[in-house]
A = this chain, B = another copy of it.
Amino acid sequence: MSNEIKVRKYGFTLPAQAGMDDVVLDLARRWGADAFRDSDGTVLSDSITSLGYDIYSTLCLIRADQEWNRAHPEDNQQKYLYSTPQTARDVVMEIDILARYSPEQYRIDETHAYKKYWEVINRTTGEVVPVSDWDYADGIVTVRNCTRWHVYSVNFLVYQIWETTSMYNHLTNNWGDKPHQSGVDPRKQATREHLAMFLDKWLATHPDTDFVRFTSMAYQFPIITNPKHETLYQDWYGYLDCMSTQALDEFEAKKGYRLRPNDLVDDGYFNSTDRVPKKAYLDWIEFIHDFMVEWASQCVNQVHAAGKKAILFYCDHWIGTEPYKPRFQEIGYDGIIGPCINGREVRRIADVPGDLVKELRLYPYFFPVDLLDKPTFQAGGDPVADCRKYWMWIRRAMLRKMVHRIGYGGYLDLAVKFPDFIDYLEYQTKEFYGMCEHTDFTPVENAPFKVAILNAWGKDRSWGFDQSWPEGGITESLSGQPFDLMWINFDDLRNGLPDDVGVIINLGLARTSWSGGENWKDPNVVAAIRDFVDAGGGFLGILDPSACEHGGAFYQLWDILGVQKEVGLSNDCKKVIPTDVTEGHFIAEDFNGLAPALGKHVQRIYPGLESTTIIAKDSEGSVTIAANPFGRGRGVYLAGFQLGAEQNRLLQRAIWYAAGKEDQMPRRWFSANLHTEIAAYPETGKYIVINNANEPQTTVITDGNGMEHTVRLESNASRWFDFAGNELA
């Protein structure tokens, strides 16, 4: 490996595999790799590690020593589950508590006093059944003195006997008889001491390793499966798999109150991130984070003491590390790596505070099937089409916030069977290196105001939307838009916004954490936003903004948004304000008379004020896009969103308009053709024009001096220019 590569600020991590040395070296040259990694299920041979490339070695301490784990089942990880709600047909009812769960994944905790740690709940009344009214034996809870026709379920503790990542990889790859791995909990003192010793020994026996790639620390986000190995529950942010009776007792000592099992079971919702978080759950997150900062710091110190660098894989067992919380910085990681299939996942890594090497592990993973179990690297798969589709969203997001490295994972022997994929990565890596060099990781020029996304989680759950819901599409679009984004929660709002916020976005379905639920009943919340908008700010509401039935209104900020939702309680209140569509509005300028599809949008939206401007309606007359003046500011409403070029532009226009700065949008660094986008870097004096479409496009761009230039781009292509307009290599 040349020194030239060693001094680059950027790089590529190649998943190598023993026995493929020639292929590995050839691909390393073609793709410009500077590092090799192993993956779950692959190893690097000595012949590869000795080639002079950086070596990234994956290490998951809590399942690294299965011998220890098997010998210490009492330190296996634990969690609370709940039994299938069951309707009492008689005064005595037997509940097979594990029935809905995989017995391969979980074992009922029969070690600890279940009358202390479990709860039987009458879900119809919400009451906890007295412990004298139930008993447990052989997997069955027998409840006595049931009220007939009430619904009961049991919150009970289990050991997780099949560690989640091991299970996922095993099932995805049909590993058959390969042994199931378990995980242990470093909160347990003996295990903690063992893991420290194990890590030291591991470091000593891996002299070729430059970077320890922790995949990840201790606690996996929850994936709960049923006996058919189907996923019953999955929450990338869930704090369920960090439980133990010891943790419960320590929580009580530290926080001054004891968690009830239902504080975690949450009536079966398991505190899904879509739920407005309750105080007990937030306290629990903080409690786990405190432990993790302390334990992860110790691990990182050991790595550093061995002269190596420590990288966090921000996925799998990332729970507790909380890269967006301030104390994450205390851990001392040298870098952070995230899996990345879209722009949101670019930004989730790229926006992490701190001076870290940031790397994306791109998709498709070199597995036979993808995350949705569709064929990838096998007959019927088309990894190039997949990769290009992802890259179109990833590239535009990177242009807003660069990362230092990209890479892949999985089995190289699968990937090399697809030569067009090998070729495509050559193109992709070159394009990435060009972006690194031309941007030099300096800031992109964005709109001259900040955009704050308001929800019940704020910064801690930056970019944290599920792909399949409209909220995910909106933030995906935003990940590549020319706006400085910040994520705020309702307390941030109560404590005062920074001066440079131009637009607040609230997006989400009613009653979810994303919309905000009961927070909207707080007079300080609505007053803060009214004050902000009155002074010239913008409020962009998408789906069910400020939704909470209270005081005769459902959307609390109807006076800013100009619209209201009919939920069926005010059919008798007639909607007399005309819903005529205003033609030629700034937000609608790219519509060509037809508003873009907004997916499964919110319905029964009507204008609530004479001042409301209706920009679009659906076929049934429900308002889909509206704007309204409020003091010196503006409200804008969008009833939904779906991913697409037209919708990207619509959202862009909506934000500029909400900010009251729509005249500035096309003046600098604007590309007229909405299939194309532009990004400029004042510190390097360069700009790029990209074509997101699968067909060639011609666009007229406006540069930083307001001068227009025509640019033609091949399908999916990009072109770099300096500020004088000269094309760069």
Contact = CB atoms under 8 A, between A and B. Distances in A.
Contacts of A450: none
Contact of A272 (B151, B526, B571): B571
Contacts of A468: 571
A48 B527 CA distance: 68
Contact of A530 (B87, B232, B238, B603): B87
Contact of A576 (B89, B230, B269, B551): B230
Nearest to A544: B568
A230 B571 contact: no
Max count, chain B CB within 10 A of own CB: residue among A228, A523, A531? A523
Contact of A151 (B233, B469, B551): B551
Interface string A568-579: 111111101000
B150 A523 contact: yes
B272 A570 contact: yes
Range of interface residues on A (Cβ < 8 Å) = 35 or more
A148 interface: yes
A572 B272 contact: yes
Contacts of A268: 552, 570, 573
A150 B510 CA distance: 22
Interface string A259-277: 0000000111110111100
A148 B531 contact: yes
B511 A568 contact: yes
Interface string A212-247: 000000000000001010111111001000000000
Given A268-B573, A466-B571, A574-B230, A125 B523 contact: yes
A546 to B, nearest CB: 12
A719 to B, nearest CB: 40
Interface string A4-38: 00000000000000000000000000000000000
A576 B232 CA distance: 7
A512 interface: yes
A305 interface: no
A430 interface: no
A466 B572 CA distance: 9
The 7 closest A-B pairs by CB, nearest first: A267-B552, A123-B551, A149-B527, A509-B568, A149-B530, A272-B572, A268-B552
19 contacts: A85-B553, A123-B551, A123-B552, A126-B550, A126-B551, A150-B526, A232-B574, A233-B573, A233-B574, A234-B574, A235-B572, A238-B572, A272-B570, A274-B570, A275-B569, A508-B568, A512-B568, A512-B569, A600-B603
